[in-house]
Structure 1
Amino acid sequence: MRKVYLVGAGPGDPDLITVKGMKAIQKADVILYDRLINKELLDYKKSEAELVYCGKSPNNHSLTQEDINRLLCKFANQGKTVTRLKGGDPFIFGRGGEEAEELALKKIPFEIVPGISSGSAAPAYAGIPLTHRDYSSSVAFVSGVAKNDADAEEYWKHLAKSMDTLCIYMGVKQLPDICDKLIRHGRSSDTPIALVHWGTTKVQETVTGTLSNITQEAKHLKNPSMIIVGEVVRLREKLQWFEQLTLEEDSSAKAVVG
């Protein structure tokens, strides 16, 4: 049956795939998957399903977005069930909207299967609640990349004090500039900030600091990393459950081996 599923694969932990997302993988004739998905999810596929890698890393795209759109339409028009497997949620900085537009234009049936976004999952695994009655009543999910320098100034000016918590995607490369702009437009230099690298995975690493020192503290971190800015970051010291769980599991495994 000709149909395309635009599926959010979640933030990295394979257990965080939705049941509906898993079913879409299982029924697919063709799966187009991104770089940031957990490859364990591909174990759910049919043995005869075709896999197409659509990985994108900064400044290095194996396929352009136009190529991906074209392939989705091509496979669907061959009468195949197609699953487009995207990291996080397809409609939150996943360009799923662009793919859905193309499918709608070509009158190809499609479904959107939401996924857990790294913007909410990475902070949760780092022990950072995005809202809290004592610290934050508002949160914004924003891109660390503006269209141009002129837009960027106004962009960060608006965000600096309009929201209690900022969750910033794709901002590691621009981190020094982001911190500078937030301070310049009214955020205290002592505002807590955290970077969560490969959130929800076994190699998750979290670094905290303030707007004034995080660039130095987190200089070793690369993408993919979520940036969280706001007073809620202070709660991590009390709520960092995932690292403790990992240590306990490692200790248990060593005890069994021993």
Structure 2
Amino acid sequence: MTGLTGRTALVTGAGNGLGRAVAVALAREGARVVLVGRTAATLNDTCTLTGGRAEVCDVSDPASVATLASALADETVSILVNNAGIAGPVKPLWEVEPAEWDEVFDVNVRSVYLMCRAFLPPMIERGAGDVINLASVSGKRPLARRTPYTASKMAILGLTRTLAYEAGPYGVTVNSLSPGPVRGPRMARNFALEAERTGSSVEAAEEAFVSRAALHRLVEEDEVAAAVLAMLRMPGLCGADIDLSAGMVAP
């Protein structure tokens, strides 16, 4: 792949953060980008950076996804990036309410199932397409007080590997990308909560966290976007998970 001209990429959670960074990178490579998220204002902001098309959708809701698929019947979506996700509660498992657990799994896992269910069949019919699911290094190592999130990201790894074997024979690749902690508002919130819990400073909380990474730093949003492009340049990649964690290891 020297460029993506002529291809349409759908990115969920495209209003900000990683979704916006991925959408911008895809657009720069020539793709027509369909931006999907819950908030029109942030999607429109991303639209100014990418062009393309913005569609408001709750990707965890079957009816909303069905409406989205109907609205995009005129688009040939050949790249699907399932990025939508939430961090969920920061507390021990026994303090997590069932509604909190369900919300994390609805947004982080059910959305991937619904979007693949809606947009994979046309790819299979055409005999080509690429699906990249955003997982997390947290799905592969302990992360105390974050059980719903880590469990949901481990579920994405299992979903990806199995779906690759179902879709691969039709010429459709399915892979996952597992970023480590990415610099941005979500990690800033986590460091603030950890500092409050331990009585330390935010800076100390961040230092303790990144000290477990070989590169001793957080991952940047543009690095995640670059990884998505790199994965699309590897046509033999299928059923794989790419670790982009700056060498983060278990505590």
TM-score tier (shorter): 0.3 to 0.5
Q: State the TM-score, normalizing by the size of structure 2.
A: 0.36
Decide which structure has greater strand share. 1
* Greater share of residues in helix: 2
Query: Which is higher, the Rg of structure 1 or of structure 2?
Result: 1
